[in-house]
Chains A and B, each alone.
Chain A
């Protein structure tokens, strides 16, 4: 199975980009968790998790992705079962039920599920023996397969993950060649429903906001007016903006971030790691991180373009979409243009499930790249 050509075609560029971003994250986590008592055990924990992630990445490059896709529906089944289990027995962390305790470790099944969804969509379209563009009659099973977890995650409630599941679905179906008219009709339908709900609300018949949790509505309202709740939801946003803004052009320097150092920033080593990095390394550092992310995504798109087959292209695009949506939503939220939805920054944030799935996903992209000249 291991071919000499595989080693020759090993994707060093992708590995380099991944490790560069992980290094920036590790420095940020070190600074964010450092306390008067010294280096935090959480930092060493993060390093260990990066090590595990790297192993997962290499593992994901070992077996031909066609073999991996064979198990797509099984992965999907386990992922879905875990999502249901979270609903039934999950632990509540930070106001939302997202964690599943396995005794030794707690995992966030939603992180793993996103990857499983990409595998299933790639597998589904590679199995369609029809010419694109695809019509509704070709794609309805995959619509159902996406809608079920989407509704489950909405119920948890985890708006961020729901947004990402929807994003993966739309992007992958679009590049896979689903008829554009289907997208247009769906968009039109969605707008009509939204309009109808708004009308009902105005008439006082039904308040659709009642479907959202109070804290979710609050986070959206606070986005436009942080002073509504300076110690609660608005606190995240205003402190994060102060941290990023005060970084200026060149930043305050390593371990000199006063916002994070004095513990102004909540969840600074997890979801708000980008604020720490921006405060300490300034505009130049922040843009450099974004540049690394864009390079990584474009490299993945390039991999998709040059992939040996349609299956590989879809797989690479799916993973790239997860990565893109995570980065965009997280940075949007730390810079105060999106509501705080609890999405980690891939490769940078502290958090085992996120580190593991991101590395494994990137391993899959590298897998596609390495095997583009192999036929079999």
Chain B
């Protein structure tokens, strides 16, 4: 059993390949491909060279055989010439023998020239041929001399020359040299055919090595591709799992926040019922006591000294009640926003022009009161939740009507257009505008900006932003103080549950 400190050896072939590929760096595919190409090219070159080699060796072997043949021919012709000449002596006067002799004698130099030219590549052989040439020349001259004597009818002299044995000696010398030459060619033939065989075998080996190398490279490439695909798959799966996990976490946090806002809203409201209730009870009680005392003390008399505590009491009760009611409104706002997140969206195709016209109609009373005009341009349709959109634009238009510039007729424009994935609606006014420093905080809950001359808790825009986010969109504000504001609502073409 291996001790825990011992790392398991990467015995796996796949592991080894992975490490190798890892070391090759990010351009491993190109490197593998280039290596393959280079090896292939070298192999093709070797193949061509080897094949060429083998062919030329075979040619050379053939050449040796031809030289041998020519040499044999020379010998044969010499013998033929000699024997024909002898026959001419024996059967004197028969000219056919003479003709045969002459033919053979004339053929010899031709063959000899051929042999010389064929051995011109090999200096050693050439030298031997050149040594052979004078011997053959002498032999031919000897034969020619005898022929001339026979021609002249001096048969006895010719026979006498035969008896001198000079021709015989020459023939033996020629024979010996030709045999040596032939033997040398035989040796050449042996080495050449041997080389040719070796070249053929080389060809086979190179071909086999080629196939092996290409196979290995192919295997590397394929296994690399497979590994790449596998690792991509694994990465993708891991990423997907991570995203899912994050989404689940976010959803959980969101749900927790929702229920938190909801519970807090309710639990904060219960004490308010008490505060309000008992304040009212105290008020009733005080009034009863005060009235009784007043009527008991001085019925019909003036009671200046008693008026002050009554007024102060009323003031105090008034503050308590106002504060309690405000608290109640704030809690309601928190609840309303928390409900925005809880309500199930019901996306449907919506004619936005009609929807905004409807909102404008419900606001007509307010619009007329401040002498404002709302212009609704043709708006692109959308697939979205009707109630949410109504709330968003009712809030935006209500704000636009509320925060006009004093002494300036209100002009409010609602326009819209479509981009690739989004539908964008704009509510533009010529009102008092929002200072740049306040442009972010107007969307925060319970935060307001500018002159506080209108009723409100700072809920509207926070609610709008919550709604738009819920629909999967965003809202942007561009505004110049004392010039007007533009609220840009960007929504997905299909705002299904996000």
Whether A and B are associated in the same complex: the answer reads no
Residues of A within 8 A of B (CB): none
On B, residues with C-beta under 8 Å from A are none
